[in-house]
Amino acid sequence: MIYLDHAATAPLPPAVADAMYEVLTQDCGNPSAQYPAGLEMKKRVEGWRASVAALLDCPAEGLYFTSCGTEGDNWALRAAAWQNRHVGKHIVTTAVEHSAVLECCKWLERDGYEVTYIAPDQDGGIPAERVLEAVRPDTAAVSVMLVNNELGTRYPVKPIAQGLAQRNPKTLLHTDAVQGLGGMFSARTLGADFVTVSAHKIGGPKGIGALYIGPRVKNPRPLLAGGGQERGLRSGTEATAQMAGFAKAAELRLERRAEIQGHLAGLRTHALERLLDFPDLTVLGGVSDHTAPHILALSLAGWPSQNIVNDLGAQGICVSAGSACHQGKPSHVVAALKLPKRVSAGVIRLSFGPETTEAEIDACVDALRRHHDTRMPML
């Protein structure tokens, strides 16, 4: 199988599986228990937290484990709205956020919030000024993702944080950094008050994420009420094996981060070179400087994406027709780009990981070429 869908979920390296297996089979202490096995497990939880915090470059005491990126997004938005309930009921976000943010915004709209959705340019870009201009005295929160999961476009979170300090210092800033976690970012210098990440995009297990909460958030309101785990802020018995897996994946990534980023950038350039003379091709998401190296979104105008995904899938090549979370529905991200219908109907996403090779990309490009040359386009 040629797996080019790392942005949907990444394969789990054996060292991660081993770390999880060890916890699953040998450690039965509940970190809240007061006997030695429980106390030992509590210490290990703090070690795993430190490993994940090192990858984000944030203080471990500001990092809380969650069940997934979706939970982190929901928690951050609700906590920001709660802290700033006396500031106002206005939220600014973008039209291209993951549905974990957009659907949460819809909930907030039902609770009386007004949400401004910033539209992207046709290449997916959103300048910081466009976000900042939408901020008002009653803006409780701004939520802008670090890297778009369908296009790979990077968004200017740091300049937004800097601009917010002038425009409305009370507004809290959240960034969904789920697709940026493997990249060279530092939560310490980003300036966001909330940073959401998820393990399974970097080779950790599914079903665990983390939320960094910065010092400007005074009393972060929990999303879940219960036994008071995670220093009272995220109740639920700790998912220790998942934490061990997340920590191991973070350590592996941190060790080789620059090398992996270089490898991914090389793969993206190689794919673009191979696609250069391709008929009917549009590359989405702008130029390489503004895109994360692991995602390449493109369109074969006139050749419907689902047919491409099915055809390549039958040959053992996994690519996606946009975000895996939107299967079967037209993607809101592609729709926001306002591309001609023949282009938007043909969008596919290739996404790479540390193990991806140039030979795999060549095989995918060859399969795309065969698809183009042998299948009828839509009318």
Show contacts with ligand PLP in window 136-175 (CB under 6 A): 145, 149
3-state secondary structure of 114: strand
Please tell me the distance from the alpha carbon of residue 247 to that of residue 104, in angstroms, as a whole number: 28
* Choice from 83, 116, 168, 179 touching ligand PLP (CB under 6 A): 179
**Residue 178 binds to ligand PLP (criterion: CB under 6 A):** yes
C-alpha span between 143 and 158 (Å, rounded): 12
Cβ atoms of 217 and 79 within 8 Å: the answer is yes
> Per the structure block, which two tokens stand in for 122?
């046709």
Q: Which of 198, 320, 331, 351 binds ligand PLP (CB under 6 A)?
A: 198
Q: Nearest distance from residue 48's CB to ligand PLP, in Å? A: 17
Minimum separation from the CB atom of position 209 to ligand PLP (A): 5
**With b meaning 16 or more CB within 10 Å and e meaning fewer, what string describes 108-120?**
beeeebebbbbeb
Catalytic residue at 58? no
- What is the DSSP track for 64-97? EEES-HHHHHHHHHHHHHHHTTTT-SEEEEETTS
Is residue 96 close enough to count as binding ligand PLP by CB under 6 A? no
User: Least distance in Å: CB of 185 to ligand PLP?
Assistant: 13
Show the binding pattern over residues 201-240: x = contacts ligand PLP (CB under 6 A), - = does not.
Answer: --------x-------------------------------
> CA-CA distance, 49 to 45, in Å (whole number)?
6
Closest distance to ligand PLP from the beta carbon of 342 (Å):
26
- Applying CB under 6 A, which part among 37-45, 66-74, 165-173, 290-298 lies near ligand PLP? 66-74
- When CB distances to ligand PLP are compared, the closest residue is 69
* Counts for the chain of helices (H) and strands (E), in that order: 13, 12
Active-site residue, from 28, 58, 325, 364: 325
> Taking CB under 6 A as the criterion, which residues in 271-330 touch ligand PLP?
325
Strands 347-351 and 114-118: unpaired
Rg of the chain over all Cα atoms, to the nearest angstrom = 21
Compute the C-alpha angle 269/359/7, nearest 5°.
Answer: 60
- d(Cα 9, Cα 323) in Å, to the nearest integer? 11
Which of 6, 44, 49, 98 touches ligand PLP (CB under 6 A)? Answer: 98
Measured from the CB atom, the residue of 301 and 321 that comes closer to ligand PLP is: 321
For ligand PLP, which residue of 58, 68, 151, 239 counts as binding (CB under 6 A)? 68
260 binds ligand PLP (CB under 6 A): no
Show which residues are catalytic. Answer: 325
Residues that bind ligand PLP (CB under 6 A): 68-70, 73, 98, 100, 145, 149, 176, 178-179, 198, 209, 325
